[in-house]
């Protein structure tokens, strides 16, 4: 992949702050996290950078976009930690590329999205996440000592976090991820979109995307936000 020799520059310091917060949360869940950076293509009137990450405790893709001051062409996977260390209010120099994890090669489509109805209000989704976390902890505590294993805990988590939200096919784990990453804030506007096997929960602060088929191997044990 070709990486521009120059740096990328934000339209203002707020973009740097938001991206910094997003990267810090990813590293909280995985100190060795990698992110895929994409810029260019059909950016529209405002150039932007898309940053893709995958917090391992949720098995979803998290996407944060940042507005750039000038168009750029970029598609590379880098260390989230190195990127975080290099960000200033103005922008950053693109870190050296790293060998991407398998998920980095399977990203949601750029187009073809259609809006789905049936999402409950934001506060109801936040309450559902809180209730699910409480249920997991209660059921975990009720396990007898001889059954207190990772397998048992994962089975409980899979059953809870695979439940769908409202009248939609969106799994509750995607909402949990959006809240834990700081995307699902009180009163924000949210939208659910679909394209092929992908679902996307979008907010003004970031997006969570999940494949409804083909992910496998889910680890849905809840984590602290």
Given a cut of 70, whether residue 43 has pLDDT beyond it is: no
Q: What is the pLDDT of residue 212?
A: 85
Q: Please write the tens of the pLDDT for every residue from 75-134.
A: 999 999 999 999 999 999 999 999 989 999 999 998 999 999 999 999 999 999 999 999
Given a cut of 70, whether residue 221 has pLDDT beyond it is: no
Q: What is the pLDDT of residue 46?
A: 84
Distance of CA 164 to the CA centre of its chain: 18
Half-sphere exposure of 84 (CA within 13 A, CB side): 19
- Angle, alpha carbons 36-34-207 (nearest 5°): 55
Q: How far apart are CA 186 and CA 194, in angstroms?
A: 23
pLDDT band at 41 (very low <50, low <70, confident <90, very high): low
CATH number 3.10.150 given to 8-105 = yes
Mean pLDDT of 196-206: 96
Mean pLDDT of 175-204: 96
pLDDT band at 145 (very low <50, low <70, confident <90, very high): confident
Q: What does pTM read for this prediction?
A: 0.88
Given a cut of 80, whether residue 213 has pLDDT beyond it is: no
Q: What is the pLDDT of residue 100?
A: 84
- Domains of the chain: which residue ranges? 8-105, 114-211
* Whole-number average pLDDT of the chain: 89
Token pair belonging to 90: 């103005």
Given a cut of 60, whether residue 181 has pLDDT beyond it is: yes
122: left (phi over 0), alpha (psi -120 to 50) or beta: alpha
Q: What is the pLDDT of residue 58?
A: 87
Q: How far apart are CA 65 and CA 38, in angstroms?
A: 9
């Amino acid at each position: 992949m070709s990486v521009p020799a120059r740096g990328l520059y934000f339209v203002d310091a707020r973009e740097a702050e938001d991206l910094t917060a997003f990267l810090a949360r990813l590293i909280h869940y995985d100190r060795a996290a990698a992110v895929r950076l994409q810029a260019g293509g059909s950016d529209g009137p405002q150039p932007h950078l898309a940053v893709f990450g995958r917090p391992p405790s949720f098995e979803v893709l998290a996407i944060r976009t940042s507005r750039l001051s000038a168009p750029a062409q970029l598609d590379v996977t880098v260390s989230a930690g190195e990127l975080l260390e290099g960000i200033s209010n103005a922008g950053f120099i693109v870190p050296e590329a790293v060998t991407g994890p398998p998920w980095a090669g399977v990203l949601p489509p750029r187009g073809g999205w259609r809006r789905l109805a049936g999402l409950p209000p934001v506060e109801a989704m936040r309450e559902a996440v809180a209730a699910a976390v409480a249920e997991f902890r209660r059921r975990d505590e009720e396990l007898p000592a001889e059954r207190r294993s990772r397998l048992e805990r994962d089975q409980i988590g899979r059953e809870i976090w695979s439940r769908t939200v409202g009248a939609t096919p969106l799994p509750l784990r995607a909402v949990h991820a959006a809240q834990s990453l700081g995307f699902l804030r009180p009163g924000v506007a949210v939208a659910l979109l679909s394209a092929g096997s992908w679902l996307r929960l979008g907010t003004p602060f970031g997006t969570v995307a999940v494949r409804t088929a083909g992910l496998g191997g889910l680890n849905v044990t809840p984590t602290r936000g």
